[in-house]
Amino acid sequence: MGVLFQVLVVSILTASLYMIWRILFSCWISPAGAYLKLKKNGFGGPTPNFPLGNHKEIKNISRKAAAAAAAASSTNITTFSSPGTSEISNDIHSSVFPYFSQWQKSHGKVFIYWLGTEPFLYIADPEFLKQMSSGVMGKSWGKPEVFKHDREPMFGNGLVMVEGDEWVRHRHVITPAFSPANLKAMSSLMVESTTKMLDKWAALINSGSQEIDVEREITATAGEIIAKTSFGISCENGSKVFEKLRAMQITLFKSNRYVGVPFSKLVFPGKTMEAKKLGKEIDALLLTIVTARKNSNEGCGQKDLLGLLLQENGVDGRLGKKLTTRELVDECKTFFFGGHETTALALSWTLLLLAMHPEWQNQLREEIREVTGDKEIDFTKLAGLKKVRC
Ligand code: HEM
């Protein structure tokens, strides 16, 4: 009994010491080594603190910038102002990322910053980027490990997360789906949702409404478009996936304030669990959709991205390069998250800038009138809209 007890105690102690060593190594020793190596190779940047990295500085700079913007806008009715001024500014960079803007002033256009114990390379120098992309093949770039854990419910093993030869395999199947001919076939889905939104705005204005929350409207419409063009929402399961994807996006946004900080998920256990649960529900629904469409010829012919991937998968299957059903599910989620807020925010900013510059609006309207005449805009005419494309 005595010996057994001793063996048990020694085993528990050894396991605990091993765990402590693993935690110390991955959270402290390895990042500290990376920091010194990066410094030796000439990469500067704000000094990180253990275990938050530069999170605290990010928070402080953002808070100060927001307070300065609020103070400025209370003295002058502005929609968006650059930090510390009352003028409306189109300097998106320092409005949205005041910390990057501040660090750029002190550390130049290429520097390292830390989210928790993970280093990130900031690049605002096109020449540096050009050299890096010509010297290193796309498949060798690698993806930050931290996002693989944090964003798992969003992207799974989709294109944004896979690396190396796996990335090449996914790209091989996915790239043809984005051909101009395929995008043209999807344009009617985009026009349909946009027209619905614009009709709603017209009705609101006609009813005397003074204010439209353009960003909210565009985010909702872009979400509808990306869901329709990714996996379709006409069937019941499709619209359920859309609702749950939106819910997960909001949940993850609330739970991921400390990306890269060891054990940060424990700070928001409720939200983390909620995102995981939603992720599982979305996967199950998408799995049903993919399986049903795989088993029906009609489903494969549908001209959304999933339909195109299923077609491409059939062709590539012969070459042994097809995506599994699970991978197709992850790609559907990837398209949604990759294509939603990116397009919604780009459009919102564009409309804000156009609102600030009515003379640009006039030029664009004139060009659209010249190119389309009285007809509805269609995909083939887009190439003629030179100013709009700028
Ligand atoms: C204004 C709109 C958009 C912007 C600014 C944008 C920006 C980006 C950026 C910066 C990346 C590189 C990310 C990285 O490698 O870490 C990326 C990758 C990607 N984006 Fe977009 N995106 C936009 C629209 C879209 C849309 C509409 C879709 C899908 C329907 C999409 C799907 C993807 C995918 C799948 C990748 C991964 C590509 C790969 O690794 O090979 N994006 N995007």
pLDDT in tens, 314-372: 654 445 568 999 999 999 999 999 999 999 999 999 998 899 899 999 999 999 999 98
Closest CA to 379 of 208, 185, 197: 185
Which residue minimizes the CA distance to atom 9 of ligand 1? 338
Mutate to test the pocket of ligand 1, among 129, 150, 160 (most ligand atoms within 8 A of CB): 160
pLDDT of residue 175: 92
Highest mean pLDDT among 28-32, 141-145, 200-204, 295-299: 200-204
Overall residue count recorded for the chain in this entry: 390
Domains of the chain listed by start with CATH number: 32-135 (no CATH), 172-356 (1.10.630.10)
**159 pocket-lining for ligand 1 (C-beta < 6 Å):** yes
pLDDT of residue 84: 47
pLDDT of residue 76: 55
Distance 61 CA to ligand 1 centre (A): 28
**339 pocket-lining for ligand 1 (C-beta < 6 Å):** yes
pLDDT tens per residue, range 117-126: 989 999 999 9
Alpha-carbon distances, residue 127 vs 6, 94, 103, 107, 338 (angstroms): 63, 21, 19, 17, 26
| Contact residues for 217 (Cβ-Cβ < 8 A; gap 6+) | 197, 200, 201
pLDDT of residue 178: 93
Closest ligand 1 atom number to CA of residue 345:
1
Distance 159 CA to ligand 1 centre (A): 9
- In this predicted structure, the answer to whether residue 78 has a pLDDT above a threshold of 70 is no
Distance 169 CA to ligand 1 centre (A): 17
State the average pLDDT for the chain: 86
Global pTM?
A: 0.83
What is the Cα–Cα distance from 189 to 181, expressed in whole angstroms?
14
Helices (H), 231-374: 236-255, 269-294, 297-301, 305-317, 325-339, 341-356, 358-372
What is the Cα–Cα distance from 369 to 108, expressed in whole angstroms?
44
The tokens describing 107, both together, are 């550390």
Which residue minimizes the CA distance to atom 28 of ligand 1? 339
Alpha-carbon distances, residue 124 vs 39, 103, 163, 195, 346 (angstroms): 19, 11, 24, 37, 19
* Cis status, amide bond into 51, omega within 30 of 0: yes
Closest ligand 1 atom number to CA of residue 141:
15
- In this predicted structure, the answer to whether residue 17 has a pLDDT above a threshold of 80 is yes
Mutate to test the pocket of ligand 1, among 154, 182, 342 (most ligand atoms within 8 A of CB): 342
The tokens describing 234, both together, are 């006409």
DSSP line for 136-173: S-GGGS---HHHHHHTHHHHTTSTTT--HHHHHHHHHH
Q: For CA atoms 322, 323, 328, 333, give the dihedral sign.
A: negative
Q: For CA atoms 125, 128, 131, 136, give the dihedral sign.
A: negative
| Contact residues for 168 (Cβ-Cβ < 8 A; gap 6+) | 139
In eight-state DSSP terms, residue 80 is S
Distance 251 CA to ligand 1 centre (A): 21
What is the Cα–Cα distance from 7 to 3, expressed in whole angstroms?
6
What is the Cα–Cα distance from 119 to 175, expressed in whole angstroms?
30
User: Tokens 């043809």 correspond to what residue?
Assistant: 176
Distance 351 CA to ligand 1 centre (A): 21
- In this predicted structure, the answer to whether residue 146 has a pLDDT above a threshold of 70 is yes
pLDDT of residue 334: 94
**342 pocket-lining for ligand 1 (C-beta < 6 Å):** yes
**160 pocket-lining for ligand 1 (C-beta < 6 Å):** yes
Higher pLDDT, 25 or 195: 195
Range with the poorest average pLDDT among 100-109, 308-317, 319-328, 377-386? 308-317
What is the Cα–Cα distance from 353 to 111, expressed in whole angstroms?
30
CA angle, residues 246, 175, 345, in degrees to nearest 5 = 35
What is the Cα–Cα distance from 162 to 168, expressed in whole angstroms?
9
**284 pocket-lining for ligand 1 (C-beta < 6 Å):** no
Closest ligand 1 atom number to CA of residue 143:
16
**242 pocket-lining for ligand 1 (C-beta < 6 Å):** no
CA angle, residues 218, 224, 228, in degrees to nearest 5 = 145
**Residue 230 CB: number of other CB atoms within 10 A?**
28
Helix (H) or strand (E) holding 268: none
Distance 56 CA to ligand 1 centre (A): 29
